[in-house]
Amino acid sequence: MQIGPHTFDNKTIVAPMAGVTDRPFRQLCKRFGAALAVSEMVTSDPKLYGTEKTQRRTNHIGEAEPVSAQIAGSDPRMLADAARYNTERGARIIDINMGCPAKKVCNTMAGSALLRDEFLVDRILNAVVKSVDVPVTLKIRTGWDRENRNAIRIAKIAESSGIRALTIHGRTRACGFSGSAEYETIAEVKASLKIPIIANGDIDSPKKAMRVIELTGADALMIGRAAQGRPWIFREINHHLATGQHLPPPEVSEIHAVLLAHLQELYGFYGEFLGVRIARKHVSWYTKALLHSESFRKELNTKESAQEQLALVNGFFEKLASAGQRLNYVENEVGRGHEARE
């Protein structure tokens, strides 16, 4: 797949997720083979540029190229300015958020709320594309609700505006994250456009990734929730798409090493106080599929320092290491979820 001057050697992309895809997480996923990782959405409101949150979200120091930054808002001029602001801070691809279903985003007429106003979508896309010399991409949903699916019309507006790639989450805004992704709509959009189409929604295993490619004809896949605590999913999917074979799940020793490295990057990026607290959700995601982890995860939330957190993590994994346990996946008929088995 190619986006502007950038050519990618595989089909996996990290989805932008607020509170998750910070710089440490993006770097980790790229090390496991993700071709591209999109940042947490950056507000287009210039009054918030100086906040600690925005400064962190626009911090790309040391990040593998190309850097993709997602911007969010509803005012064409402000979004154009935001695109320039992010390119000045290292972004080489600008992604526009028209897919977020969160109420606090939609209530400001941003995110997927924009899908209700196709004229405004056209104004925004043209303004942003003309404002920067880097490629601009767009993420959308299939529509506002089941009665108002307009993904094909939005996609054609995007293509004519100069958008270089389009990501489609296969649900409407009203669906949130419930129900199953509607891959048939993504396939219809793919058949109607010439620009690259990236499929998103419910891609949580190598088998499901292959199936989504077959169903949609998409040029690439965007992985979100399934990568939380499981960054090696990019390695697994890339291997399966290339060979048709399945890699063995990681050994507990590898999970331990990956988690320790991730924790150190979180402490360094956020500082110890905030880093310890942000790390809690990541540790929980890494360990939820491991045996006997429930009591460990409860105790984890009581630790206030990096030293205490690391000691608890090391103790938990040392108990598992003697058994040489691997993480085993059990997929149901729709490929969701995983749990550990002995």
Give the whole-angstrom CA distance, residue 328 versus residue 342: 8
Tokens representing 81 are 């300015």
- Please state the rounded mean pLDDT for residues 22-33: 98
CATH code of 252-321, in short, is 1.10.1200.80
Phi first, then psi: what are they for 227, rounded to 5°? Answer: -90, -5
Handedness of CA 108, 111, 113, 118 (dihedral sign): positive
User: CATH for 2-243?
Assistant: 3.20.20.70
Q: At residue 94, does pLDDT exceed 90?
A: yes
Residues 320-324 have a mean pLDDT of: 68
3-state helix, strand, coil in the chain (%, to 5): 45, 15, 40
In the chain, where the domains are located: 2-243, 252-321
DSSP result, 218-237 = -SEEEE-GGGTT-TTHHHHH
Q: Which residues are catalytic?
A: 100
Which tokens is 205 given? 């295993």
Q: Using pLDDT thresholds of 50, 70 and 90, give the confidence band for residue 329.
A: very low
Closest Cα to residue 44, out of 127, 115, 101?
A: 127
Q: How much is the pLDDT for 43? A: 92
Which residue carries 């998750």 as its tokens? 20
- Confidence band (pLDDT; 50, 70, 90) for 174? confident
Q: Which two tokens stand for residue 30?
A: 């790229």
Segment 241-272, tens digit of pLDDT = 999 999 999 988 899 999 999 999 999 999 99
Residue 335 in this model has a pLDDT that exceeds 70: no
Confidence of residue 156 (pLDDT cuts 50, 70, 90): very high
pLDDT in tens, 43-86: 999 999 999 999 999 999 999 999 999 999 999 999 999 999 99
Q: Across the chain, what does the average pLDDT equal? A: 90
Residues β-bridged to residue 166: 138, 197
Residue 33 zone, left/alpha/beta (φ > 0; ψ -120 to 50; rest):
left
Q: How many CA atoms lie within 13 A of 102 on its CB side?
A: 10
Asked whether residue 204 carries a pLDDT value surpassing 80, the answer given is yes
pLDDT of residue 258: 97
Our CA angle for 66, 68, 74, nearest 5°, is 155
